A = this chain, B = another copy of it.
């Protein structure tokens, strides 16, 4: 996980807990039924909206976005150049035994070694890119929906609390605490949406852009190897995709 992400999560929850402790006790902010209605309701609606497989899949996609190693385009470029050199010195078939970690690059290189035609390689690899983008987009959609539903259930919970409170106004001293509890679901909904669901949705979008660029460079590289292009020219060509912003980023 990115160190910035970790610090961001710690900062957000740390600040909210501190704000709570400065003016009261943490206990006053924990109300199990309120937690249940907001989290349970949000998850429940998600299962009405999307097929089960898609929902579970989206959690896997999210885990990847946070924990999978960030793609390193510069390393990819040197790997492709290395493979291009093997292909020129030995032969395309020699690529079969080459040491490639990245499964997407591996798949492409094996197709090259198998003598697959260029347009077929392109079509197969681009189909995979499209499905990855679709998976990310679907994952984003689910977390955006949850980001919209959490505040909605927060409001529903608060309305339930308010109606119950207004029915029993005899004891004035109970009004304040009852209202406080009613507001808790709104609070939970706002925190869940803004600190959890919406940032995850944004993260998935960012990650999708990065991964897509990385995979597009892979496709170009594999095709260049197939065409037996000069390794130095391949290097220049692929780095053009990075320049100037990503290059700098990678050198940092």
Contacts and interface: CB of A to CB of B under 8 A. Distances in A.
Interface string A1-35: 01111011111100110111011100011000110
Given A131-B245, A190-B156, A240-B127, A15 B3 contact: no
A194 interface: yes
Contacts of A48: 5, 8-9, 12, 195, 199-200, 203
A49 interface: yes
A118 interface: no
A41 interface: yes
A191 interface: yes
B4 A47 contact: yes
Interface string A206-234: 10000000000000000000000000000
Contact of A153 (B70, B160, B183, B194): B194
A2 B47 CA distance: 9
A163 B181 CA distance: 7
- 9 shortest interchain CB distances as A-B pairs: A8-B47, A11-B44, A4-B52, A23-B164, A166-B180, A169-B176, A24-B164, A8-B48, A49-B202
A180 to B, nearest CB: 4
Contacts of A10: 44
A37 B16 contact: yes
Interface of A: 2-5, 7-12, 15-16, 18-20, 22-24, 28-29, 33-34, 36-37, 40-41, 43-55, 57, 70, 124, 127-128, 131, 134-135, 145, 149, 152-153, 155-157, 159-169, 173, 175-180, 183-184, 186-187, 190-191, 193-195, 199-200, 202-203, 206, 240-241, 243-245, 249, 252
A144 to B, nearest CB: 10
Contacts of A152: 190, 193-194
A179 B166 contact: yes
Contacts of A252: 53
A136 to B, nearest CB: 11
Contacts of A169: 173, 175-176
13 contacts: A4-B52, A8-B48, A10-B44, A16-B160, A19-B36, A19-B161, A24-B168, A29-B163, A54-B249, A159-B183, A166-B176, A166-B177, A166-B179
